[in-house]
Chain A
Amino acid sequence: MTEISRREFIQWGGAGMAAAALSDWVFFKKTLWASPEEQEKLFYHACHICDCNCGMTYQLKNGRIVEMRGNPADTLGAAGKLCVKGYSTPRLYHDPCRLSHPLQRTNPRKGRDQDPAWKIISWDEAFSAIGEQFRRVYDHYGPEAILIFARPKPWDSHLWNAIGTPNQLCHVDTCYINHELVGKTVAGGRIWGWDFSHAKYIIGFGYDQPGKSKNIHQREFMAARRNGAKIVIFDPRLSETAMKADLWIPIRTGTDLAALLAMIHVIIAENLYDKEFVEKYTSGFDKLKTHVAKYTPQWAQKICDVPAQTLVEIARGFGSTRPATLAYHKRDAGGPTYMNSFQTAQAMLVLQALVGSLDRPGGLYYSRTPEMPAVKEVYNLNYPDIADKPRFDDPENITPLVFKTKKAGFSTAADAILKDSKPHVALFHSYNTTSFSNPRHLEEALTKLDFMVNVDMYLTELGMYADIILPENLWIENSGFTARSYQAERPQVMLDEGAPKLHNTKGYGEIANGILAAMKLYDFVVDPKKLAPAQMAAMGLDKDKLRQSGGVFDSGEPFKPKEKFKTPSHQIELYSTVLEKAGHAPMPEWVEPVAKPTPEYPYYIITHHLPWMRMLKNANDPILKDLQCENKAHIHTSVAKKLGVKDKDLVWVKSPVGKIKLMVAVTEGIRPDTIMTEHGFGIWAKGRCQGIGWGQNEGEILPDRTLAEMKSWKRHAAGRGVGICDTTVRITKA
């Protein structure tokens, strides 16, 4: 056959085709009159950069966000002000590095040094490819071979429930699971409100939410400060919160539990507890009294390096001042920071109950989120029963409670994938490898999977292991409502009016249902647009009503302290029957942290989030990045002297997991046996153009856990927390 030349192709075959293809207007339409200048219009939304969900208002002009403020009608949250992260939303919205189209890998080899060679595909093509792979696995290996890494949000839950996989893995065991699980098992609910402004005495253990620029915490905490509350912060480093305290106690890293047990001991031994509250609302006091008799301040002093007399004085002050409260939340000493952190969280709640300030003014309180129907009720769905299906990462049911609350699984994900033949495909929604400690272990596990989907707003490190990437709307492009969970002393609902979508993205409801349709699970495919109106209607609301009330529905219900608690005894169980039944310690017990300094690794390591960063969500913000563009190794003056380094010198920080190179910051505000570095750096997937190459991901030196380890900690690690900082490091001049 004769091959034609380009010239012939153009002349004979292509000319007509070219004329047809090139002559039409693709992007324009004629108008008879000029469009009038668009006026600015006010819209409402809740901020979703963090879970404070502060109400915000924004102005749109010509499809662009031109102004953003805190919504003054959101009296429980923003109260008219946003934090620095909230104000960065317009820059996120207009960020040129956001994902704009579904992408498909064309290079089958996966790894840090492999270019996936993405190509743009349509949503139909993306769903079709995912549906084919997921359905194949569903039919051949069963739904449990499909892993879903996602938060338990409505459409995420819909996806895994409809598929029928028990293997949903969530970040909470690197975040708030301990506090959540302790709240639910010991006291029957989620304790996610802080009335610091009415407290007279506040103690925190590694608590630094104000230092992380959490709007609600900052406002409450500073109100307490102004109102003259006594504030004591236990922390190995002088955190931003500790700087505002009356007393900073540089406790030995990982031993907060000992100090707490000693305080419980003193408060009970000296009859300082709130007798009326304890008698009326708690159970198990006598057992607790006997149990803590051994935890004397002198015993604790040896462990936590805080003088016994100091512990006694603080316990006396705390026990004899009303109202007194602990300040705790997420990744503090009761978070998943150490392998004894579940016990720490439990001890915190017990102490809170002993001083009678659980769900009482001046204390901590339960979220009063409004009642509304779930996806299942709105669409009348009958999901497969997965309650008793074994999880691939907990075949012996070591931590049953954690999987019945908010799920978990990050701590052992890599080990479980590598050791188990069941998982074949996975979907990750808004998680990154940097969300995991020891990310290289996870990356090794991901290469074992047949197929992986990543739903995100950016091309992330995790995306480099994906086969398909689906671009999700930025939250401000979604419409609906947000029910306040932080600081919800009464039910409150905020209107979400989505800004115009700038890219070829979709909301997660569309994505989840698109996948289900592609998997031919038609019984569960629903129209996601109907959910928000149905839920609002069930609350007697609609978007017009919310708009008329300034974007916020505030029930105005007066605070009614709880008289009964959702536990088997309807009381706060100082001796938890739920934990005991599940094979965990019913009362907080001292347990040694895993890591102790050795000659090879002589320092503890702790981490912190900078106030202008929410994990990596803001990492691509050029203005915020300039505030501190890389993380540092914060070391004590004496350590710097010993190493012969000064500010801005480079050091290697090495742990049994890995090593990272950091710039030194010398300070008196840290224990000499501890090094601190900040989270949210070390981007290597260059899809984020701004944050690339700055700093190091501290996760590279932090441990993840094995299934065998988790089994050995069954009694004490009911929350399956990863023990992020339960390792030690060495530091050498680079």
Chain B
Amino acid sequence: MVVPCSGIGKTYGTVSREAAYEVTEDLRPGATGLVALSLLVLGDEDARAAVRAHPAVTIDGCKLACAAKMVQESGGQVAQGIAVLDVYRRNRELKPQGIAELNQGGQQLAHAVAAEITAIVDDLVSREEASDHA
């Protein structure tokens, strides 16, 4: 399960959600699902069940790390958490700007975040397959 930051009105929140959409809709649609952080905050049972049943990859836009915290508070396990700021620090040329519409740097940063999540997802899937064979 991919759980992005819900930082509505915040550039880094938009980057995290765009990355989540890219992974769940385009890059690994069969292997991943998206859980809206707001549903976890509201205590939605389906959302809580989803993060309890599957390893979660969280994407956080700031140090508050709401996505990672809410997954844990919902009884789920964070397989790996990604901070958009850390990805930006590794890719300084991709300065994100904009909220409703990201600038080119923001779009490319979202791609970079999505690529990191995809690698994590592939690793999780291969480990699951290996344990199924064992």
Bound pair (A, B):
no
Q: Which residues of B contact A (CB under 8 A)?
A: none
Q: Which residues of A contact B (CB under 8 A)?
A: none
